[in-house]
């Protein structure tokens, strides 16, 4: 078992209960899609896993190690094992694509070396290899903010791959992309999951994408798990249960 989450809760200082006692486990090699309305707690869940947000209560076990309360160097070592990509890509726009990818390796380079830009040749080669994996190696020396949205997300994936992550968290990775680009980005995530064996937990809005790429779906509704199973089991009835009676499914082709 790679990730074991027990009674995880998060209450924000303003009183919002984002997560209410979630319990689930993720096996190595799974591609888990987390679905649910905006505000159902998907983003909070992902950020609790790599501790960008502090959970209020509950336990997170990663590789059978309790990481709920680690801090400092131990927390940084833990984060290095987990890559993350974001809806808005979060690249550093003013620097080159290659530098952006190298930032994924900051944890394994000393602070001084990274600040004066001395990344070992092995890392530079690895960065180029990762850019090749996402099919964008020819853009290595281009400024990141000149790329299209889909290209920027692929750079972000290459950056996450620098960590050689055991787990990849993807927070709405295609929500600000057009349908065609969405599929391209999802295909790269699928490739990384199957070919590199990286476990993926991905927040998604479109059920059609969930059915096509995920091996498992977890649905959140107001901070609680209301569905956990195979994407093919999400019927019309389940859909109404997850998204409310007024919802209509939209497909992305």
Partner 1 sequence: MKQRVYQFLVDWLAGTYLVTILHRIVWLELIWGNDQSPRLGTDIGTTLVSGIPDWMTYLSIGVVLAIGATYSNVSLSLLLRGKLDRSMWQRAAALHVASLLLSLTFITGWIVTRISLVDMISGERLSAAGRIFSSLLQPEFSILPQALSAIIETVYLAFMATVLALPSSFVLSFLSARNLMRGNLWARTLYTLVRAVTNFTRSIEPLVWAVIFTVWVKVGPFPGMLALMVHTISSLAKQYSEQIEDIDPGPLEAIASTGARPLQILWFGVLPQVFIPFLSFTIYRWDINVRMATVIGLVGGGGIGTMLNQYQMLAQWHEVGLIILVIALVVWVMDYVSARIREALQ
**Interface with partner 1 by CB under 8 A: which residues?**
50, 52, 75-80, 82-84, 86, 88-95, 103-107, 111, 114-115, 156, 159-160, 162-163, 169
**Cα separation of 67 and 180, whole Å?**
38
Q: Which CB, 5 or 102, lies closer to partner 1?
A: 102
Cβ 207 to partner 1 shortest distance, Å? 27
Please say whether the beta carbons of 193 and 29 come within 8 A. yes
Q: Where are the alpha helices (DSSP H) in the chain?
A: 42-49, 72-80, 97-102, 111-115, 121-133, 149-161, 179-195, 207-213, 236-243
Q: Which CB, 56 or 90, lies closer to partner 1?
A: 90
Cβ 92 to partner 1 shortest distance, Å? 5
Cβ 74 to partner 1 shortest distance, Å? 10
Vertex 34: Cα angle to 46 and 171 (nearest 5): 45
Please say whether the beta carbons of 18 and 9 come within 8 A. no
Q: Which CB, 25 or 92, lies closer to partner 1?
A: 92
Q: Which CB, 5 or 91, lies closer to partner 1?
A: 91
Q: Which CB, 115 or 250, lies closer to partner 1?
A: 115
Sign of torsion, CA 121 123 127 129? Answer: positive
Three-state DSSP at 20 gives strand
Cβ 2 to partner 1 shortest distance, Å? 17
Cβ 70 to partner 1 shortest distance, Å? 12
Cβ 90 to partner 1 shortest distance, Å? 4
- Strands of the sheet containing 17-26, edge to edge, are 17-26, 3-11, 57-62, 65-66
Q: Which CB, 50 or 193, lies closer to partner 1?
A: 50
Enter the tokens of residue 84. Answer: 């993350």
Strand-strand pairing, 65-66 and 57-62: antiparallel
């Amino acid at each position: 078992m790679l990730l074991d989450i027990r009674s995880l809760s998060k209450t924000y200082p303003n009183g919002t209960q984002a997560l209410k006692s979630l319990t689930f486990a993720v096996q190595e090699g799974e591609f888990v899609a987390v679905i649910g309305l905006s505000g159902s707690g998907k983003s909070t869940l992902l950020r609790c896993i790599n501790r960008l947000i502090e959970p209020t209560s509950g336990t997170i076990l990663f590789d059978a190690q309790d990481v709920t309360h680690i801090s400092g160097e131990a927390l940084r070592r833990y984060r290095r094992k987990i890559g993350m990509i974001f809806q808005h890509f979060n690249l550093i726009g003013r620097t080159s694509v290659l530098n952006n990818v190298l930032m994924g390796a900051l944890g394994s380079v000393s602070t001084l070396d990274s600040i004066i830009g001395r990344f070992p040749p092995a890392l530079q080669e690895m960065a180029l290899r990762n850019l090749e994996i996402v099919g964008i190696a020819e853009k290595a020396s281009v400024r990141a903010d000149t790329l299209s949205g889909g290209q920027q997300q692929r750079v972000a994936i290459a950056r996450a791959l620098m960590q050689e992550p055991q787990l990849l968290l993807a927070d709405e990775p295609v929500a600000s992309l057009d349908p065609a680009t969405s599929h391209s980005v999802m295909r790269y995530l699928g490739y990384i999951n199957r070919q590199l064996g990286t476990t993926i937990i991905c927040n998604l809005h479109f059920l059609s994408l969930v059915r096509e790429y995920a091996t498992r779906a977890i649905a959140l509704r107001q901070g609680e798990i209301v569905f956990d199973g195979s994407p093919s089991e999400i019927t019309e009835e389940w859909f109404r249960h997850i998204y409310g009676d007024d919802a209509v499914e939209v497909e992305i082709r």
